[in-house]
């Protein structure tokens, strides 16, 4: 280990679907956050840990800040806002292709209360012409005094090393909070449930909104090389249940097959995955069910 070791916590914040989870996974080098082109994919603060010889950066992928429409939405926004004054630095990520929008102003207004340095990270620069970046940078710099502005492409890895160097230079000397082989602070059960949820969102596209939760009922090793996992996909309406199951169970089978591949990669062993689908009407507005599914807030 180096003579001087640095460590810090860095929050990633931005409108839904600006690429925060893609950024997190690219930076860590392994999937710790689920990715979807649907808004508000991330529901919990997901910590990704990057450890080098001389530093440890803990990235916190917050839910996208948006105007909430239900109690789950309230939970997600409060979680994101509470994170901002608990970290060493904030990455405010925007989508270069979409540019400035009302949702960004909503976040910028909240950043005025933040007493931590904020870096503007312009993601998806591979989707725009370089000439379009300067006016965009000037527009945002007029609205907030950013520590630095760094354009990147999280998907292609462009300028990620530069961003990492800047963050490493910025963070203070500190302890190594996690063992060097840790890439996230979340237990395997949580990651497994998120991988299953990702496949539901991926395969059902617009037919299933964010009214699903995945509950891991049981995980056990019954054989030396196989892990048996039983999980329930919870949705709000019978019609959604029918879509997730599909004709003669075809959709549920595809969800299970795709999720199993990622889970096997995560666990490094064979996986037998058994899925059920249950209806819990309006669960996103019921505090007891939000708690049961792992969404907790001191404000509830």
To the nearest 10°, report the CA torsion of 131, 133, 135, 140.
Answer: 180
Q: Do residue 192 and residue 276 come from a single domain?
A: yes
pLDDT by 10s per residue, the chain, length 300: 557 899 999 988 888 778 887 898 888 876 665 544 444 444 445 678 899 999 999 888 765 554 555 565 566 666 666 677 788 999 999 999 998 988 888 889 888 888 889 999 999 999 999 999 999 999 999 999 999 999 999 999 999 999 999 999 999 999 998 888 777 766 677 778 888 888 888 888 766 656 678 888 888 876 667 889 999 998 888 888 999 999 999 999 999 999 998 888 777 788 999 999 988 876 666 565 555 555 544 432
The confidence score (pLDDT) of residue 254 equals 95
Q: Do residue 236 and residue 112 come from a single domain?
A: no
Residue 226: CATH number of its domain: 3.30.300.20
Q: Do residue 95 and residue 154 come from a single domain?
A: yes
Identify which of 63, 60, 50 has the alpha carbon closest to the alpha carbon of residue 18.
63
Q: Do residue 69 and residue 114 come from a single domain?
A: yes
Q: Is residue 115 part of a domain?
A: yes
Q: Which of 119, 135, 170 is the last residue of a domain?
A: 170
Q: Is residue 216 part of a domain?
A: yes
Identify which of 161, 292, 132 has the alpha carbon closest to the alpha carbon of residue 215.
292
Q: Do residue 135 and residue 220 come from a single domain?
A: no
Q: Do residue 152 and residue 11 come from a single domain?
A: yes
Residue 47 phi/psi, 5-degree rounding, is: -100, 125
Q: Which of 170, 200, 228 is the last residue of a domain?
A: 170
Q: Do residue 45 and residue 108 come from a single domain?
A: yes
Domain count, the chain: 2
Q: Is residue 177 part of a domain?
A: no
Q: Do residue 196 and residue 146 come from a single domain?
A: no
Q: Do residue 129 and residue 41 come from a single domain?
A: yes
Q: Do residue 135 and residue 251 come from a single domain?
A: no
User: Residue 295's CB: how many other CB atoms inside 10 A?
Assistant: 20
Q: Do residue 53 and residue 140 come from a single domain?
A: yes
Q: Is residue 175 part of a domain?
A: no
| Domain residue limits at 102 | 6-170
Residue 104: CATH number of its domain: 3.40.50.300
Q: Do residue 271 and residue 210 come from a single domain?
A: yes
Q: Is residue 106 part of a domain?
A: yes
Which runs of consecutive H residues, i.e. helices, occur in the chain?
20-28, 71-83, 102-111, 133-141, 160-170, 188-204, 238-245, 250-267, 287-292
The confidence score (pLDDT) of residue 31 equals 66
Q: Is residue 124 part of a domain?
A: yes
pTM for the whole structure: 0.62
Q: Is residue 299 part of a domain?
A: no
Q: Is residue 36 part of a domain?
A: yes
Q: Which of 103, 135, 170 is the last residue of a domain?
A: 170
């Amino acid at each position: 280990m180096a003579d001087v070791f640095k460590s810090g916590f860095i929050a990633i914040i931005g409108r839904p679907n600006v690429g925060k989870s893609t950024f997190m996974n690219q930076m860590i080098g392994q999937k710790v956050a689920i990715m979807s082109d649907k808004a508000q994919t991330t529901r919990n603060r997901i910590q990704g840990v990057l450890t080098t010889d001389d530093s440890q950066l803990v990235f916190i992928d917050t839910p996208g800040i948006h105007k909430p429409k239900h109690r789950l939405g309230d939970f997600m926004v409060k979680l994101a806002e509470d994170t901002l004054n608990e970290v060493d630095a904030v990455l405010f990520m925007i989508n270069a292709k979409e540019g400035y929008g009302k949702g960004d102003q909503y976040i910028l207004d909240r950043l005025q209360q933040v007493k931590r340095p904020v870096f503007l990270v312009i993601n998806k620069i591979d989707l725009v012409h370089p000439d379009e970046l300067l006016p965009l940078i000037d527009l945002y710099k007029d609205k907030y005094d950013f520590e630095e502005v760094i354009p990147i492409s999280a998907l292609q890895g462009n300028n990620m090393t530069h961003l990492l160097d800047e963050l490493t230079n910025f963070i203070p000397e500190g302890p190594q909070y996690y063992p060097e082989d840790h890439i996230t602070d979340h237990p395997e059960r949580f990651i497994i449930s998120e991988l299953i949820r990702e496949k539901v969102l991926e395969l059902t596209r617009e037919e299933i909104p964010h009214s699903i939760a995945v509950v891991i009922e049981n995980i056990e090793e019954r054989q030396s090389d196989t892990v048996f996992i039983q999980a329930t996909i919870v949705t709000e309406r019978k019609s959604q249940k029918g879509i997730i199951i599909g004709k003669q169970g075809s959709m549920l089978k595809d969800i299970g097959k795709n999720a199993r591949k990622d889970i096997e990669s995560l666990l490094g062993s064979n996986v037998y995955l058994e899925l059920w689908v249950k209806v819990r009407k309006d669960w996103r507005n019921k505090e007891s069910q939000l708690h049961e599914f792992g969404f907790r807030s001191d404000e509830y």
